[in-house]
């Protein structure tokens, strides 16, 4: 899946499960926004923390702030750059304090500022959390964060505090903080429902171009989805064994490159 065309723009993606699950849609949306090959650099992963190691189904990966993405970014040639910072609330489930989460995110924003990136941050799904019942909360806490003993009241309070802190951070750094629609979430309170991907990501990512709408919705492709899912990140461990993969680990037909960290 390659061509002689070179990426004309860099897209940096920072997040957890929401980006992993819908990466194909996110990548296609970025390509549709500029109608040209892009260089994707993504520090993402199921259960990904912004600052500490996380492990999911035997695969251990670093936090986003200490990720090797930043060192690799320094070695690459300058390109016009945009960045997405999302899934910031994930660390609340690990019991990390709001101040610690904000310090990790701010560190990432500092790197992005040095890269002259046009950055956007997404809010937390507060409205969906407010509608969450105690029974639903216990189910999802056990499923996603089995070691957590936080209550629903704890999570709601900390999520509101973190959301306010992100707004203040965005205001201080002059970075848009994008609201998320309650309609994008279903029974699962933290993951965008699949049927909303083709609406949600163009709405969010169009902020890179001051809200300019896409000419068409991103096209679905099982082949692209399967190809992206097959790619390995630069550094991780599986069942205690360290592994590495050369980056970029993927190239699409139009010349878009994919690097995972």
Other Cβ atoms within 10 Å of 101 Cβ, number: 24
**Coil, strand or helix: which one is 27?**
helix
SS3 233: coil
79 neighbors 126 (Cβ within 8 angstroms)? no
Which residue segments constitute the domains of the chain, with CATH numbers given? 9-260 (3.40.50.1110)
CB neighbours of residue 60 within 10 Å: 16
pLDDT number for residue 58: 79
What does the pLDDT read at residue 57?
74
Q: Compute the distance between CA of residue 104 and CA of residue 91 in angstroms, rounded to an integer.
A: 11
What are the tokens at 24?
């194909």
Instruction: Find where tokens 């709601």 sit.
Output: 156
Alpha-carbon distance of 39 to 28, in angstroms, equals 12
Say how far apart CA 17 and CA 114 lie, in whole Å: 26
What pTM was estimated for this model as a whole? 0.94
Is 33 in a helix, a strand, or coil?
Answer: helix
**Amino acid 56: pLDDT:** 81
Report d(CA 30, CA 109) in Å as an integer.
20
Strand 59-61 and strand 235-238: pairing?
antiparallel
21 within 8 A of 191, measured Cβ to Cβ: yes
Long-range pairs for 23-26: beta carbons < 8 A, 24 or more residues apart: 23/225, 23/228, 23/229, 24/220, 24/221, 24/224, 24/225, 24/228, 25/197, 25/198, 25/201, 25/218, 25/220, 26/84, 26/201, 26/205
Decide if 256 contacts 31 (C-beta within 8 A): yes
For residues 11 and 39, is the Cβ–Cβ distance under 8 A?
Answer: yes
Show the low-confidence residues of the chain (pLDDT under 50): 1
Burial class (CB in 10 A: 0-12, 13-18, 19+), 240: exposed
**pLDDT (0 to 100) of residue 3:** 57
């Amino acid at each position: 899946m390659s061509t002689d065309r070179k990426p004309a723009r860099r897209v940096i993606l920072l997040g957890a499960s929401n980006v992993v699950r819908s990466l194909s849609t996110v990548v296609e949306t970025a390509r549709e926004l500029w109608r040209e090959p892009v260089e994707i650099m993504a520090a993402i992963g199921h259960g990904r923390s912004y600052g500490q190691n996380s492990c999911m189904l035997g695969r251990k990966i670093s936090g986003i702030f200490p990720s090797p993405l930043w060192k690799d970014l320094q070695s690459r040639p300058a390109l016009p750059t945009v960045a997405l910072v999302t899934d910031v609330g994930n660390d609340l489930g690990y019991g990390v304090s709001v101040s610690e989460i904000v310090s990790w995110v701010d560190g990432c924003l500092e790197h992005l500022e040095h890269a002259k990136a046009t950055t956007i941050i997404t809010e937390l799904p507060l409205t969906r959390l407010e509608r969450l019942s105690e029974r639903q909360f216990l189910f999802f806490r056990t499923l996603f964060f089995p070691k957590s003993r936080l209550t629903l009241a704890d999570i709601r309070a900390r999520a509101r505090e973190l959301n306010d802190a992100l707004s203040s951070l965005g205001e201080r750094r002059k970075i848009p903080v994008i609201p998320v629609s309650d309609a994008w979430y279903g029974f699962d309170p933290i993951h965008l429902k699949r049927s909303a991907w083709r609406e949600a990501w163009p709405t969010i990512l169009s902020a890179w171009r001051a809200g300019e709408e896409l000419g068409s919705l991103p096209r679905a492709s099982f082949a692209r989805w399967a190809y992206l899912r097959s790619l390995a990140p630069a550094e991780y461990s599986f069942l205690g064994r360290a592994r590495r993969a050369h980056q970029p680990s993927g190239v699409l037909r139009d010349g878009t490159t994919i690097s995972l960290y």
